Chains A and B, each alone.
Chain A
Amino acid sequence: MKLEITINLKETDGVPVTEATTIEVEVPDFEAFTGPARFGEVFDAYEREVIKARNEAVAVATEKYLSEMAKKKQSQREISEKEK
């Protein structure tokens, strides 16, 4: 089974700021949960993958966010220099 995390960064009006970030990971199938005795082990496999994916997705999205912010700052400076 796959778990997909998608992060969209949008302006307040809903316009996308960056392209979407998508991370996909394999997680245990429902069949892997064979009973209470193995629940902890299977859930651990799920949780570790999901935490890894979550961190990766947020890191990539944050990189895009900061890059976009830097671009905006550059264009703002160009505008203000022209005005001078």
Chain B
Amino acid sequence: MIDAELGRLEVDQFEIREGSEKVFTTRREVFPETGPREAFKSPCLRELFLLFSIDESFRKGTGKLNRVLLRKERDAIQFRTVANTVEREGELIEAQRSKEAEEILESYSFDAEGKRIPSNKGYTSGNEDTSLTEESPSEIREDLGLGKEPQSAEEKRIPSNEGQGSRRESSCITEELINKAIEEINVGKEKELQIDLSELQETFEDPLSVKANISLDDVLSKKQKEGNRKKNAPSKEKKAFVKNTVAHLENGENAFYLLNAHCVEKILILVLAFLLYNGLLNRQGQLIFFIDGAADLRLAIQSLFLDLLPFKIILDWFHLEKKCKERLSLAMKGKQIRNKVLDHVTPLLWHGKIDAAISYLEGLNKDNIKNQEEIRLLIGYFERNRSYMPCYALRQKLGLRVSSNRGEKANDLVVSSRQKHNGMSWSTSGSTSLATVTTLHLNNEQSDWLLNRKLSFQFRKSEEKAAA
């Protein structure tokens, strides 16, 4: 039986026997083999299953699908069929993506965990001039906050793109431009908030020649209970969650690609394979990660990329501000005092004055504090993330990103909008599979996948998304 957008098709089966032995059967040799009582679903129908499942519940989506196809009673599509099909497609996509990633890593002399295998061939072959070794180890240490050697004004300049990998002759962010931006920001500002170029330890990437901007974020959805609640069990069990990690990769031309996985380590392997496959590791420019400050994300990035290439991690401004609000709410006596402290601390952080912010917090009047421990924790947070907190004001003035909002939005589109509703709970594989199918759709890869079981693994222009 074939279930298609055209309808449910009963097809006669033929077989040739020689004695009692079957020598030919159309069931296996013409049509794809399916399970008992299972119909082969045409790519058109499977595409509809995916399309009607990614925005709303399987039950509602199937109801709409049955109305569109005018399927009733015996011919009606069951929502469980749709859910199972989507889950299976998701698993197949994940398996294919992992397989492709492994092959890419292997071809560039990396093992499956993303570690380099000593070899003559590798990602720098044929492009030594633009290889990552151009950026000095001190710059790597600085980016990771492991060293803070003072830089001359000359060193602060964005490396120009004169290598083989780029046709651009010079960076669009020059020393002159940075100085001009600083002057403009400093106009009318009190001394405390004025930016001094010599104090800044960071580099400013040319937005048009970054290798990639990568926003990473975790998202949790409610986990299904393993079984029925036991008798006499406590009424409120500890809430369990299914974790999904989403990566939004963007190049200098505003093209993007989304990846998802059930854990951080897995997604970073996929990110590395994507960068290798698209020749981005050899390209001049920086690799920039935008994160929300989660330690597991930061550590996983460092563990995979530290020995590989220079990169920069930027703590998302929204999350930094949120953290300040949360900690100060717990620390200060009353909303008004909290707001007063917040109004002083956030501009300092926005202007990259982390030491000043710490000094201010340390010097707070004890009478206004209800929980000194929270202040200590906030200062600890600043210290830990100091290397990832740039001068946000200057970055924004230079037109550089200060936020992981694209990653947050991707999370919203891939997981939250579909999976986080009242009464919804998910199995680990169900949640990840649905997120994978949504990612496939957002990357506009569904047609190629359904027909050829292929994934493009390439950036997609934003205009294509709008057109789609």
Contact = CB atoms under 8 A, between A and B. Distances in A.
A62 to B, nearest CB: 16
B44 A39 contact: no
Contacts, number: 44
A44 B42 contact: yes
A33 interface: yes
Contacts of B42: 40, 43-44, 47
B32 A51 contact: no
Nearest to B32: A36
A39 B32 contact: yes
Contacts of A43: 2, 4, 42-43
A10 interface: no
A57 interface: no
A41 B44 CA distance: 10
Interface string B10-33: 000000000000000000111111
B275 to A, nearest CB: 31
Interface residues on B, range: 10 to 19
A34 to B, nearest CB: 10
A50 to B, nearest CB: 6
Contacts of A35: 29-30
Given A33-B30, A36-B29, A36-B32, A41 B43 contact: yes
B30 A44 contact: no
A72 interface: no
Nearest to B453: A40
B30 A41 contact: no
Given A51-B5, A51-B6, A44 B44 contact: yes
Contacts of B33: 36
A55 B44 CA distance: 15
Nearest to A54: B6
Interface of B: 2, 4-6, 28-33, 40, 42-44, 450-452
5 contacts: A35-B30, A36-B33, A40-B32, A40-B40, A48-B44
Shortest 9 CB-CB contacts between residues of A and residues of B: A44-B43, A36-B32, A47-B44, A41-B451, A39-B32, A40-B43, A47-B42, A47-B4, A43-B42
